[in-house]
Every structure is written in structure tokens, then in C-alpha cells.
Amino acid sequence: MSAQDENNRIFQELIAAQSAGEPIVLATVVRARGSVPRHAGSKMLVYGDGRISGTIGGGEMEARVVGEAAAALAEGRPRLLAYSLVDPARGDPGVCGGEVDIFLEPYGAPATILVIGCGHVGRAVASLAHWLGFRVAVNDDRPELATPEQTPGADVYLPGDLDQALAAFRVTPNTYIAVVTRNVLVDRRILPRLLATPAATIGVIGSQRRWEETRRLLRQDGLSEEQLRRFHSPIGLELNAETPEEIAVSILAEIIMLRRGGTGKRMVRTQE
């Protein structure tokens, strides 16, 4: 395989990993001097679980790069590594005799909206989230609704039972769950299944009265107050929204606020 073919494969894997919501780091040799195992332009992928694809030279140096990649992914910041391959006695990761610089580009799990419920509001949320650039996944226990025809704009369709959906879909700390189902009984059934996910937030649609009834039923089912605090309801910012599209704006505005650390307050300053 030529170097160009190898790099093309690496880029294809990178795109596939991001499409699947998998965190990954691209390691690229950006400068090489003297005798080194791989030269400038050589690339390797380091997955979030430590797996690698491709190589930048193998041996101790590559092992160190894998460790640095995990740190770069945790920080969410790129880093430039410089190695001398001369004298292992002084800590060098090799004896080739040259020097190499490696640039690490972390690609964290993409910001994702998981919409549970593909009714009027769910469809509007999926459409707006897609327009805003989120990766969008949709689920509904009515399989005919979680389809591209009924709910356009999603990247991932998860029709049917939620347990099967969660088994097939990776929820990450960068996933925002919007539970926009049709009634309390559906919420009672599915909300406990979301507790174990590492989602950034789990928002639930409904009035205060509906949420109080849902809380009562969930407590009856054995959920603790600490577990109930994992959910927030009613989801969205107070906009007096009425239409599904307006409600979607309210929901996505809250998600953006939480993601970006905003306050939700008006930015205009009153004149004194």
C-alpha cells in the first residue's frame, strides 16, 4: 500500500469514527530529521479505547504517543510532541539517531442530540438540531415514526424498543437527550433505562403537573430522589412557545445554553 493510499484509509476511518460518535486522535509526523522509522506525513489513529490504526514507527515512541493521545483527548486540545531517538539511557524512545515531531489532533465524541419520541415536537427538534450542526439520533417505540420519511434530518434512526436502541447507539458525555414522548406512561417506562447513560443532560417534555405525576410514579417504582435529579423537566427555556417549531427552539436554546455555559438571560442592557 502506498503512503497516499494509507493516508486515504486513515482519513476514511477518521470520518467513520466521528459518524459513529467515537472519540479519536489523529497523530501525524510533521517533521523528521536524520534516521527515523517514519517520515513526515505518516499518520496513525488512536481510538478512545487505546486501539490504533496505522503506524508512526512502532516501538517505545509509538507507545508514548498513544499515552499522550489519551491525554490530548481528555483535554480536548491538540499538542505537539518532540522526540529524539538517540540515547535510551537518557530517556529517548529509540536509538535510530534522528529526531521527530508529531502533532496530535483530538476529535472528541461529536455533540449529539438523542431525540426520544418522534411526534410533532420530536420531528421539529430533530430538524432544528440538524440545522444547528448537531449529530442527531432519533428513537420511537412506534417504528414507523423513526424513519427518514417521517422524521427527516437525523443521522441515526433507532426504531423500536429503547433497550435495543441504547445497545446499538453510543451515548457519550457529549450527548444531550431530549425525551419528547406522548404521555406519562411512556416516560415511566423509559426514564429508568436512561439513568446509566453518561449523557450530558436528560430533559423531559411536559408541564409541571405532568412532571410531578411522572415523579410520583417513578418514586413508586423505587427511584430515589438522587436518581430523579438526573432528569430535568420541563425541558427548554421559558419562551411561552406554542407550536412544535417554537417548542423545538426552546429545547435547543436550553441545550446550547448548557453546552456553552450561557445564562439564558437577555443580552440587552437597559438604559439608566
What is the per-residue pLDDT for 270?
62
Task: Give the per-residue pLDDT at 91.
Answer: 47
CA–CA gap between residue 169 and residue 171 (Å, rounded): 6
158: phi > 0 → left, psi -120 to 50 → alpha, else beta; which?
Answer: beta
How far does Cα 12 stand from its chain's mean position? 19
- Taking the CB of residue 87, how many other CB atoms lie within 10 A of it? 11
Model pLDDT, residue 93: 52
Distance CA 136, CA 229 (A): 25
pLDDT at 84: 80
Output the CA torsion sign for 59, 63, 68, 73.
positive
DSSP state of 124: H
Grouping H, G, I as helix, E, B as strand and the rest as coil, residue 224 is coil
Cell of 262: 450561557
Report pLDDT for 88: 55
Sequence letter at residue 115: V
- Assign residue 206 a region (left: φ > 0; alpha: ψ between -120 and 50; beta: otherwise): left
* Total-model pTM: 0.82
Domain 112-260: which CATH class? alpha beta
Rounded Cα–Cα distance for residues 132 and 178 (Å): 15
Chunked in runs of 10, what are the mean pLDDT values of the chain (272 residues)?
82 91 92 80 91 85 89 92 68 62 92 97 98 97 96 96 94 96 95 96 96 96 96 95 97 96 86 52
Q: Where are the domains of the chain?
A: 3-107, 112-260
